[in-house]
Each structure stands twice: as C-alpha cells, then as structure tokens.
C-alpha cells in the first residue's frame, strides 16, 4: 500500500507542475491518427482543451480567407467600373469631337478650293508661264525688260450673267430647294461656284469631287466633311467587325447622319443652310451602285432642302444624271450654264489681251471676229486662244485636234471586216446624226441671213451665224431627242455620244453639237466630196454582213439514179 500511495502522489505532483498557472499549454500532438472502429482519433472523442484549440484555429483561418476574397472582389469590381466609366467618357468625347471636327469643315477659309484658287491667282501675268505661246524672237526680246508683272487679283476675268444667281445659292440666300448645274464641258460651271466661294471665304460651303470608284468617293467625302468614318476610334480595336464591312454606301450614310446634326446646329446659330457641292457627278459609272448613291444623296437633298438646313448642288457635263434625278425630284431646280454671248466673248478677249499682252483691241477687231467664228463662246477654247500671240493659229490648232480626235473615235472604214462591225455601226449612226445637226445649223444660218436682209441691218452684225447664236449661247436650237432616235435608229448610242462630248443634250431634250468647234469639225467632214459615198459604202457593208449572218445555205447531193432529190413546196409564200 505504501508503494501504491507513493506512485499516486508522484503522478499528482507531476500533473500539478504541468498544469500550473504560469506554464503555457502545449497542444496535444495529433500528427498520428489511429483508426479505431473505422474512425480516426480526430473523429473520435476529443478533450475539451483540444476542441477549443481547433475552434480558435478555424476562426482565425476563415477570417483571413474572407478578407482576401473581399479585397479581390472589390478590387476587380472597382477596376471594371473605372474602365467602363472611362470608356463611356471617351465615347462621349469622341462623338462630340466628331461633330466639332465636321463643323470645322464649314468654317471660313477651310475648303481646299480656296487654297487652290489663291495659288492660281498668284501666277503672274505672263502667258508663257501658263501655256506655250507663238511668239517671235523679237517679241521675246522686247518683253525681257518687263519682269515685274502685276499679279492677277481679280475674282473673275469676266462677269457672267449666271453669277448673281449662283452667288445667292452659294451664300445661302436661296433655301428650300437643291440644284443641278448642267451644261457642256468647258462652259465654266465650277468656275462660277469657285468665284462665289471666294467672295465669302467658303463660309458654310464644302465641295466634294466625284469619282467612278465608290471607295474613292467615300474617302473624298470624308476629306470634304473632315470625317474619319470612325477609323480613328480606339474602341474599334475591341470590335469584331470591320467598320467598312458594310461597303461605301453604309459609310456615306454614317457621314450624312453626322452632317445632319452639324447642319441643324449651324442653322440654329446662323439662320441659313449649309451648302454641299458635288462636282462632276457624270464621272460616276452608269451602274446599280452609282444609281443607289445618287438616290441616297437625292433623298437627303429633298428632306434637307425642305427643312432649309442643307442645300445640295450637283454639277454635271452629261445628261444622264438629270434623267435619273428627274424621276424622283420634287424640289430640284436646274440651271443650264451656256457659252458666252458675242458681246461677252468680245469683252473678255479685249480685256485679256490687254492684261496679258498689253494690246488695245477695238470692239470690231477682225481677228476677234474670226476667233468668235472659229471657237464661239466656249470659255475653255477662248482661254486657250487668248494665251497665244497668234490667236487665229491657236484656234485652228484646236479645231484640227478636235477633228483628229473625232476621227479616231468614229472614223468610217470602207469595206470593213466583220470583226469591227459593231464599231462601224456606232460610227455610221453617229455620222447620220452629225449630218442632221449640220443641216439644222445651215438652216438656222439661212434663216438668220434672210432676216438680216429683210431688216436691212448692218452687215457687221451678222457673220454667217444664226440670230440665236449671236445674242444668246452661240448655239442652234438643235434637233429634238425623238428625231435623233429616228435618225440613228439606235437609242443607246446617244448617251455614249453625250459622254464622249460629241453632242450636248439639254434639259429640253434638244440635241446640239457639243461646241462650235465640234460643229465646225463635223461641218468640214460632212462637206467633203467623198463623204456621202463612204458613208453609204459603210452602211451597205454593214447590211451585207448582217444579211450574211442571217442567211443559211442548204447543200444536198443526188444519187446515181436520181435518188435524194429534194422537192421544195411553197405554201403561203413560205419555204417548207
């Protein structure tokens, strides 16, 4: 008993030392887990001290994990919100900047037309700098001392009767309609627009040059309106579709949508419409894409002209844009720019010869009268003649070049091969029309001469040209479109001749020679001694080739005893 009592007392003393108040608790080791009855020691009964230690460890680990997850979640959400808010601010700023940049395109002095016009006016009054001249060596020696020439500072070299109306249109004084400026090539349609733009520094005006390629037209429209078609938008880096995937017409529609906002703001501020000029729309191809583009622009022109916020101006040398736009036009007005009248042409030649060569010409100068007879009142031809010392020689060169070009396009080939039959169809039909135009002009001259003789007018007022030519546009009245169709027997050739600048079709559907130079050329060709014989020969050759193509030859061979003989029975004038 004493021994047992001693062991028990030692165990109690040992427990007292290990569980004293100043001794730290040491957690029981649980590294070894002994399975008892299918359960580990950790799943078995625990002492109160070990369970308390486990609860403290779980609470500390769970609190740490919950804090890190919250930080990650809130950090991610904050980054996304900041990124989204920044993107929204950028998108809003970009839309505002697009409108602001497009408004700059209509501010005074922005349009490139003014820069080019200003550069052209800085050319000194020396004709040899602009075009080769026919001057003798003595003339060049005399002009060596005149180095300090004045600069051309005038807005226009001659006042045109259409200028006042065009000024009102360009300056925004005429609203509620859109315009089509038409007329033959070289009559000065865009020069009138450029002069009007110079007078107000292109305030509220933009000019777009048309092209036969719709993608190039899209780029030119963007340059005209100072619009990038969202190609500089950073958000495009994250988009999966190309902004230009819809084609040029979709991009043009986007640009017009932005233009509408700019036009409304401009009209609210200035109480006048913007002016958008589409020059040379005849360069567009006559296909479905170009037709859709013109229809798209016309729809905007109709609605915007009704609201008075934008005035569209279309310029064309050909007739087909007028025929296309006329179908859906309700607010379209047409202005036909014609050649100079005789009085305007004489005044222009006298002024320019004085400015360029220092010559003082009288109103009835014989050389000026000869130039009028040769090239008429076409500004492009007059300008080319006035820059040369010998104007008569320059005019004859223009006529000769036009003649050779015409023969290269529709020259007649006698006894032509069947490979060029289509070309000769066009050539022969064209010359049939040319003959009709020459006869019409000769009849106008005869009527004018008879009227002059009857009224006993001064012979100096008549130079063998029609009365309408002298006092209006230097053109005969022409022949109606319906008559030309019957003369040519091919209606599809008229549009091609108009596009080639051989004829001109006005808004009254009268067909005339494209210019007096062209009239003189076809008159010279049609009055040649062998012309009618060549034309008849080509027409006969074409008929023979077509007849040969429609003819079928039947060949058969009879037998020795007469077998194989074919009997042809004719009933009702038909071969069976």
| Strand (E) or helix (H) holding 371 | helix 366-375
In this prediction, residue 451 carries a pLDDT of 80
Residues 202, 350 contacting (CB under 8 angstroms): no
In this prediction, residue 34 carries a pLDDT of 41
Name residue 312's beta-bridge partners.
276
Collapsed DSSP state (helix, strand, coil) of residue 151: strand
Residues 465, 445 contacting (CB under 8 angstroms): yes
Per-residue pLDDT of the chain (576 residues; tens, 9 = 90+): 455 555 556 556 555 545 555 555 544 444 444 444 444 444 444 445 555 555 555 555 555 455 777 788 878 888 888 878 887 888 888 889 889 999 999 999 877 877 777 766 655 555 544 443 334 334 444 444 444 333 333 434 577 889 999 999 999 999 999 999 999 999 999 999 999 999 999 999 999 999 999 999 999 999 999 998 877 777 665 665 555 567 899 999 999 999 999 999 999 999 999 999 999 999 999 999 999 999 999 999 999 999 999 999 999 999 999 999 999 999 999 999 999 998 889 998 998 888 888 888 888 889 999 999 999 999 999 999 998 889 999 999 999 999 999 999 999 998 888 888 889 999 999 999 999 999 999 988 888 778 877 775 554 444 444 434 444 445 678 899 999 999 998 888 999 999 999 999 999 999 999 999 999 999 999 999 999 999 999 999 998 888 877 776 666 666 556 555 555 555 554 443
Please, which residues have CB within 8 angstroms of residue 252's CB and are 6 or more apart in sequence? 217, 218, 221, 293, 296
In 3D space, the residue among 283, 270, 277, 337 whose CA is nearest the CA of residue 312 turns out to be 277
Distance separating alpha carbons of residues 500 and 283, to the nearest angstrom:
12
In the block, residue with structure tokens 């007849």: 547
Query: Could you tell me where the DSSP H helices lie in 411-530?
Result: 421-455, 467-471, 481-488, 492-499, 516-526
In this prediction, residue 450 carries a pLDDT of 82
In this prediction, residue 151 carries a pLDDT of 35
Largest CA distance in the chain: 176
| 413 class by beta-carbon count within 10 Å (0-12 exposed, 13-18 middle, 19+ buried) | middle
Distance separating alpha carbons of residues 484 and 452, to the nearest angstrom:
30
In the block, residue with structure tokens 């006529």: 399
The full set of domains in the chain, from first to last, is 112-135+154-337 (3.40.50.300), 344-550 (no CATH)
**∠ at Cα 170 (165, 171), nearest 5°?**
100
3-class secondary structure per residue, 49-60? HHHHHHHHHHHH
């Amino acid at each position: 008993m004493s021994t047992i009592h001693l062991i028990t007392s030692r165990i109690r003393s040992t427990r007292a030392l290990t569980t004293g108040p100043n001794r730290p608790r040491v957690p029981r080791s649980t590294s070894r887990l002994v399975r008892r009855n299918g359960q580990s020691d950790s799943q078995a009964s625990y002492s109160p001290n070990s369970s308390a230690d486990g609860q403290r460890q779980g609470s500390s680990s769970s609190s740490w994990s919950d804090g890190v997850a919250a930080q990650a979640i809130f950090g991610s959400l904050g980054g996304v919100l900041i990124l989204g808010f920044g993107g929204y601010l950028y998108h809003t700023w970009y839309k505002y900047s697009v409108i602001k940049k497009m408004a700059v395109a209509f501010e005074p002095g922005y349009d490139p037309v003014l820069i080019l016009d200003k550069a052209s006016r800085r050319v000194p009054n020396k004709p040899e700098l602009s075009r080769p001249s026919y001057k003798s060596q003595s003339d060049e020696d005399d002009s060596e001392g005149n180095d300090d020439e004045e600069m051309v500072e005038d807005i226009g070299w001659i006042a045109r009767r259409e200028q006042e109306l065009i000024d009102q249109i360009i300056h925004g004084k005429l609203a509620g309609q859109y315009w089509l400026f038409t007329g033959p090539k070289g009559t000065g349609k865009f020069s009138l627009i450029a002069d009007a733009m110079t007078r107000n520094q292109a305030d509220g005006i933009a000019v777009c040059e048309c092209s036969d390629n719709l993608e190039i037209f899209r780029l030119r429209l963007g340059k005209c309106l100072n619009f990038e078609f969202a190609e500089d938008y950073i958000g495009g880096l994250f988009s999966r579709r190309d902004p230009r995937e819809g084609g040029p017409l979709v991009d043009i529609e986007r640009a017009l949508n932005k233009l509408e906002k700019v036009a409304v703001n401009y009209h609210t501020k200035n109480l006048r419409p913007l002016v958008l000029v589409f020059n040379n729309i005849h360069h567009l191809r006559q296909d479905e894409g170009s037709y859709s583009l013109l229809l798209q622009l016309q729809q905007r022109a109709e609605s915007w002209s009704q609201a008075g916020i934008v005035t569209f101006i279309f310029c064309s040398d050909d007739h087909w844009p007028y025929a296309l736009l006329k179908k859906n036009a309700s607010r379209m007005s047409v202005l036909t720019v014609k050649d100079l009248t005789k009085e305007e042409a004489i005044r222009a030649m006298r002024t320019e010869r004085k400015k360029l060569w220092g010559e003082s010409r009288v109103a009835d100068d014989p050389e000026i009268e000869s130039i009028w007879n040769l090239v008429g009142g076409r500004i492009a031809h007059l300008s080319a003649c006035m820059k040369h010392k010998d104007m008569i020689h320059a005019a004859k060169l223009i006529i000769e070049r036009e003649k050779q070009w015409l023969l290269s396009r529709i020259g007649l080939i006698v006894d032509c091969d069947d490979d060029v039959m289509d070309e000769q169809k066009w050539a022969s039909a064209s010359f049939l029309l040319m003959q009709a135009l020459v006869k019409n002009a000769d009849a106008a001259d005869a009527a004018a001469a008879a009227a002059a003789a009857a009224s006993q007018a001064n012979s100096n007022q008549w130079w063998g040209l029609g009365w309408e030519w002298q006092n209006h546009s230097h053109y005969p009245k022409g022949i109606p479109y319906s008559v030309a169709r019957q003369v040519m027997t091919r209606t599809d050739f008229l549009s091609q001749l108009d596009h080639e600048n051989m004829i001109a079709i006005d808004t009254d559907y009268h067909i005339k020679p494209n210019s007096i130079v062209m009239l003189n050329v076809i008159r010279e060709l049609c009055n040649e001694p062998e012309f009618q014989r060549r034309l008849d020969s080509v027409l006969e050759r074409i008929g023979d080739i077509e007849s040969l193509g429609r003819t079928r030859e039947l060949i058969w061979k009879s037998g020795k005893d007469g077998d194989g003989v074919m009997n042809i029975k004719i009933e009702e004038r038909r071969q069976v």
